[in-house]
Amino acid sequence: MKLLEIQSSVRLEQSISRALSDEFVQLWQAHHPNAQHKQRDVGIHPPAHPTEQWTTANYTPIDQQTSEMQAVLSDSERLIEELLWADQLLLGVPMYNFSIPSTLKVYLDNIVRVNRTFVFDSERFSFEGLATNKKALVITPSAGNFAPDSSLGAMNFCETYLRSILNFIGIQDITIVAVPNQFMSDAIRQREIKQAQTTLIQLAQTW
């Protein structure tokens, strides 16, 4: 069993998503002592943004790529190989301005690539994900309550985007642990964190 942990918060000690992820990994490893674990911290060390050269190389068939094109895509290739290595993904994703952190977006732009993590049928205009047989756990703190049935639910582009993009590359088994109301009083904040911790304790045994 191989777990890839992806952290996207720009904060360190004050990060709720990082703290909960750390707790979960320790619990999960206790139940899976022989499992492998890697961490990719795109919050502190984000990959480079795609450029025009990168895009040209990406859409050039592998057998036609020059050495320069391969060099431009080398970091992206390493990220994709790391993703494909994993059986399970743990993503720490705080909501920033109703969506995911830009650090995570640039990571996703590097790994969502035609003929690497998805294929495209131009005749049928259909797509098929290649990162299959994996499952993802997303820990996502937010300032308020962005549950689907809440007044802010329609503004939750963080959860909807993550589900869509992970589904697109073939990851269908997705569990999201929301940690809402982090801009509320300390009592409310701690209640939500405690509830998330309880959920993660249960998941560590069965996930």
DSSP output for 43-69: TTSPPPPP-HHHHHHHTS-GGG--HHH
pLDDT digits (tens, 9 = 90+) for 148-163: 889 989 999 999 999 9
| Nearest in space to 7 (alpha carbons), one of 89, 63, 72, 70 | 89
**pLDDT of 100:** 98
- Dist. CA 1–CA 35, nearest whole Å: 5
Whole-model pTM: value is 0.94
Q: Cα 69 to the chain's mean position, in Å?
A: 26
- Domain ranges within the chain, ordered by starting residue: 2-206
Residue 173 has pLDDT above 90, yes or no: yes
Ramachandran quadrant class, 98 (left: phi over 0; alpha: psi -120 to 50; beta: rest): left
**pLDDT of 54:** 98
- The percentage of residues in the chain with a pLDDT greater than 90, rounded to a whole number, is 94
**pLDDT of 124:** 84
The edge-to-edge listing of strands for the beta sheet with 2-7 is 36-41, 2-7, 88-92, 135-141, 173-179
Q: Cα 40 to the chain's mean position, in Å?
A: 10
- The percentage of residues in the chain with a pLDDT greater than 70, rounded to a whole number, is 100
| Nearest in space to 138 (alpha carbons), one of 22, 5, 30, 33 | 5
Residue 176 has pLDDT above 90, yes or no: yes
Integer angstrom CA distances of residue 144 from 10, 96, 200: 19, 11, 20
CATH number, domain 2-206: 3.40.50.360
| Nearest in space to 177 (alpha carbons), one of 10, 16, 15, 2 | 16
**pLDDT of 38:** 98
